[in-house]
Amino acid sequence: MASPIQWYPGHIAKAEKQLLENLKLVDVVIEVRDSRILMSSKHPKIEKWVEGKSHILVCNRIDAISTPVKTQWMRWFTDHDRMAYFTDAQAGKGMIDLLKAAQVAGEKVNERRRSRGMLPRPVRAVVVGFPNVGKSALINRLLKKKVVASANKPGVTRQLRWIRISDEIELLDTPGVIPPLLYDQDAALKLAICDDIGQAAYDNVLVAAEAVDLLIGLGAKLSARYQIDPLTVTSGIEYIHEVAALNKFQGDLDKVARLILYDFRKGKLGAIALEMPPSLT
């Protein structure tokens, strides 16, 4: 039986506390999710955080999923009367629409202020989400220059930081936050596969085995890359054992697990979404 993934280090607890304090100051919450796992990367507290504020949903890493799946998700959001912005914060795609949405939200804030006899001010928007989903990259892209640290590992942003995007918009970059208890272990595994949780939170072999199970079901071309046909095994863990038995890996399961996770995260196994829109809702 798989050991559970639980991960709530001090810096995440501190980040959440600071986020809650700062939420009082903001008008707009920009929620960033990972397009590969659009359900599992929804933070369970998001509804609470957006209460009384404008909510902009960003599906980032759109380059990591195929166009047909992207289209299915777009249709799903439309069918559910939900506006979603699809972005690739690395290449800077989808930024114009997102910026416009933030501006519109800002105009609404200032209309309300004016009607109460208050002076207009820049809209304040906070960017929130799980670690490593691309929050800081998005801010850099919106500003068209590198103002906040953004790197390929979870836990890069450690401090909350306000960035003035224009005369109309101020953005707050926040560290990725994880719920104190990961009740949904299926979601936790997918977050781990996508590197949207701290590295120390899990065992690579366990997570890679789950990844292979999912990837086999999604038709990823594993045999071309690892010289073992997944049809010859019955589980992800068995697959990892078979690959590790190849001469070049010398039985090193952890090495194989890290390679498979690395390849998936880098898109070397293809543009593959791990979650499709729910069909019956």
Q: Among Mg ion, ligand GTP, none, what binds residue 30 when CB lies within 5 to 8 Å by partner kind? A: none
Q: Report the C-alpha dihedral over residues 61, 67, 72, 75, rounded to 10 degrees.
A: 80
Pick the closest to residue 62 from 53, 54, 74 (CA basis). Answer: 74
For the bound state, the minimum distance from the C-beta of residue 270 to ligand GTP, rounded and expressed in Å, comes to 13
Where on the chain is the footprint of Mg ion (CB under 5 A)?
135-136, 156-157
Are the C-beta atoms of 214 and 274 separated by less than 8 Å? Answer: yes
Measured CA to CA, the distance from residue 102 to residue 106 in angstroms comes to: 6
258: buried, middle or exposed (CB in 10 Å: 19+, 13-18, 0-12)?
middle
- The residue sitting closest to Mg ion, measured at its beta carbon, is 157
Q: Among ligand GTP, Mg ion, none, what binds residue 60 when CB lies within 5 to 8 Å by partner kind? A: ligand GTP
Q: Among Mg ion, ligand GTP, none, what binds residue 137 when CB lies within 5 to 8 Å by partner kind? A: ligand GTP
For the bound state, the minimum distance from the C-beta of residue 161 to ligand GTP, rounded and expressed in Å, comes to 11
Are the C-beta atoms of 57 and 138 separated by less than 8 Å? Answer: no
Output 38 or 139, the one with its CB closest to Mg ion: 139
Q: Among Mg ion, ligand GTP, none, what binds residue 152 when CB lies within 5 to 8 Å by partner kind? A: ligand GTP
Output 54 or 150, the one with its CB closest to Mg ion: 150
217: buried, middle or exposed (CB in 10 Å: 19+, 13-18, 0-12)?
exposed
Strand, helix or coil for residue 39: coil
State the residue for tokens 């506006």. 83
For the bound state, the minimum distance from the C-beta of residue 268 to ligand GTP, rounded and expressed in Å, comes to 12
Output 106 or 134, the one with its CB closest to ligand GTP: 134
Where on the chain is the footprint of ligand GTP (CB under 6 A)?
60-61, 63-64, 88-90, 131-137, 150-152, 154-157, 175-176
Output 64 or 169, the one with its CB closest to ligand GTP: 64
Strand, helix or coil for residue 55: strand
For the bound state, the minimum distance from the C-beta of residue 272 to ligand GTP, rounded and expressed in Å, comes to 13
For the bound state, the minimum distance from the C-beta of residue 74 to ligand GTP, rounded and expressed in Å, comes to 16
